[in-house]
Amino acid sequence: MEKEKKNVVIFGVDETLTDDLFDYLKQLYNVTTYGTEALATEESFVQKAKMADVICFFSGQISGRVLKQLTKTKLLVVCSTGYDYVDIETAAECGIAVCNSPSFSSRSVAEFQFMLLLAIYRKLPVVLKGNDSHFNFSFPFNTFMGQELFRKTIGIIGTGNNGTHACKIARGFGMEVLAYSRTEKPLLVSDLGINYVSLDELLVRSDIISLNIPFNNSTKHFLDFEHFNKMKNGVIIINTARGSVINEQALIEALRTGKVASAGLDVLENNTKDNPLLNMENVLITPHMAWITKESHKRMIELMVENIIGYFIGEAQNVVNKVYFNPISEKGEKLRPSLGNKVSLEVCQALMDALVSGNQKPFETGKMLIEKYKINFAKGGVEEAVYQTGQFIKHTTLGIISPEKIHNNECILTLNEGLIAPQQGNDTFLSGIISEIFKKVTEKNFIVTENECSENKACRTFNIVISK
């Protein structure tokens, strides 16, 4: 019997700009689209979304009060990199996974930053205002005289995807690039000559400061009064991130005193008509449009489709609140396993090192991973063990594990993709790891044996049977 199609409701995404992606989505699901006006009130949104298994949207606040009314919904796809306008904790409590769309607009946003910067440095707003009176080329040079970017020092705060592209563009202009980021990228240093420095040094030395950080509790008012006081006189501020990463009152004061010569802002903290920034001549403001290009829009839709399909086949990606769907056990459609979100990069590296070196014993390593990193497994049957093990293997980048046969006391697993030669030769080790995980999940002892390798060297099959 054919399964009933899932209901997908999409808000604020233009179907006409998506080539054949929407047609493909409609083959798989029941798809309904609405304009952004449907997000105008909570009542309107809930009314249109209450029967949806999946909700996709581009903007608009999604509160905990709204989420609690979406009793049928399993997945929220945020068609943007930032997801600060969704109550993701309440979504997790309701068993609703939230996926974002990282990196789809990184190039577009980085390019836009330099459009703002060039417009400011070459006094484009002043030039455009004077067009009517200066077509005779008798304009005063001093009024329109700008500056080159060559050899200027730009401080890039945040070297994630947007910041990385900004670094590359800046080096293309021949600029000196200082960077401050929570996580440093060695390749930016070795390949581009980027200098990572402290925040204070970046503030003191930069002619231009560009913000490329997400908004969260730790980045609210990341630039505040004390930070502006440390900056060079006449610095330029570029913000295409989120409005609230800058204390706008501090920025306004710095603009009025000349500490900040000009600001290029694609985002505002105070989005009202009485915001003083809107009337300041040394501020260039655009309506949060840095991401809007044909290329980024296409990537956004591609990610939206991938997020939906991946979730329902048990290979969820870009999940920001760690709620997963278990396609093996329909009873657990809103299962929230605690495994995936606790396998850190450090765990992955420990397992990879052990697999490659072969210096650690498998059962000891399995116990070490469970105890040291406090990986908590949901108690359940063999189906749950298969799912948990699959999540574990996937998060360690070893590959994808899938069940071929499941019974009450045995199953066969196939591990595909991502296997390199040293891993293929370490059969006993991986069998031991799987055995330890199954034992922890089901509280029963298992015998795990690996079958002979077939011609497909990237495929490994394990027989897993409860020990009598």
Return the closest-CA partner of residue 380 out of 433, 338, 323, 318.
338
Mean pLDDT of the chain: 77
pLDDT of residue 265: 98
The per-residue pLDDT for range 96-153, each reduced to its tens digit, is: 999 999 889 999 999 999 999 999 999 998 888 766 555 556 666 777 889 999 999 9
Q: Which one of 158-167, 298-307, 317-326, 410-419 scores highest in mean pLDDT?
A: 158-167
pLDDT over 90, % of the chain: 45
If you average pLDDT over residues 384-410, what whole number do you get? 45
Tokens of 236: 């330029």
Compute the distance between CA of residue 3 and CA of residue 10 in angstroms, rounded to an integer. 22
Pairwise pLDDT comparison (21 vs 407), residue with the higher score = 21
Mention every residue, 6+ apart, whose C-beta is less than 8 A from residue 326: 314, 332, 333, 335, 337, 383, 384, 387
User: Tell me, what amino acid is at 468?
Assistant: K
The bridge status of strand 459-466 relative to strand 446-450 is antiparallel
Compute the distance between CA of residue 180 and CA of residue 219 in angstroms, rounded to an integer. 13
Pairwise pLDDT comparison (409 vs 215), residue with the higher score = 215
Q: Which one of 165-169, 319-323, 421-425 scores highest in mean pLDDT?
A: 165-169
Mention every residue, 6+ apart, whose C-beta is less than 8 A from residue 405: 411, 412
If you average pLDDT over residues 75-95, what whole number do you get? 90
Q: Which domains does the chain have, with CATH numbers?
A: 1-103+294-336 (3.40.50.720), 106-285 (3.40.50.720), 337-468 (3.30.1380.20)
- In this model, does residue 400 exceed pLDDT 90? no
Q: What CA–CA distances, in Å, run from 23 to 20, 101, 220, 305, 307?
A: 5, 20, 40, 11, 16
Compute the distance between CA of residue 55 and CA of residue 49 in angstroms, rounded to an integer. 7
If you average pLDDT over residues 347-352, what whole number do you get? 42
If you average pLDDT over residues 410-415, what whole number do you get? 53
pLDDT of residue 348: 40
Pairwise pLDDT comparison (230 vs 347), residue with the higher score = 230
Compute the distance between CA of residue 254 and CA of residue 227 in angstroms, rounded to an integer. 10
Confidence band of 350 (pLDDT split at 50, 70, 90): very low
Q: Which of 200-209, 349-358, 424-433 has the lowest mean pLDDT?
A: 349-358
Pairwise pLDDT comparison (141 vs 352), residue with the higher score = 141
- In this model, does residue 440 exceed pLDDT 90? no
b/e sequence 274-307, b meaning 16+ C-beta within 10 Å: ebebeebeebbbbebebbebeebbebbbebbbbb
Say if pTM beats, i.e. exceeds, 0.85: no
Residue pair 423/357 in contact by the 8 Å Cβ criterion: no
Compute the distance between CA of residue 139 and CA of residue 126 in angstroms, rounded to an integer. 12
User: Tell me, what amino acid is at 395?
Assistant: H
If you average pLDDT over residues 198-207, what whole number do you get? 98
Compute the distance between CA of residue 268 and CA of residue 263 in angstroms, rounded to an integer. 11
161-172 vs 106-121: helix axis angle to the nearest 10?
Answer: 40
Residue pair 180/202 in contact by the 8 Å Cβ criterion: yes
pLDDT of residue 38: 81
If you average pLDDT over residues 153-157, what whole number do you get? 98
Residue pair 153/129 in contact by the 8 Å Cβ criterion: no
pLDDT of residue 321: 86
pLDDT of residue 51: 94
Please name the residue that has the structure tokens 């706008």.
Answer: 248
Q: What CA–CA distances, in Å, run from 307 to 23, 102, 105, 405, 430?
A: 16, 11, 16, 27, 30
Confidence band of 63 (pLDDT split at 50, 70, 90): very high
pLDDT of residue 167: 97
pLDDT of residue 85: 86
Confidence band of 37 (pLDDT split at 50, 70, 90): confident
pLDDT over 70, % of the chain: 65
If you average pLDDT over residues 442-468, what whole number do you get? 57
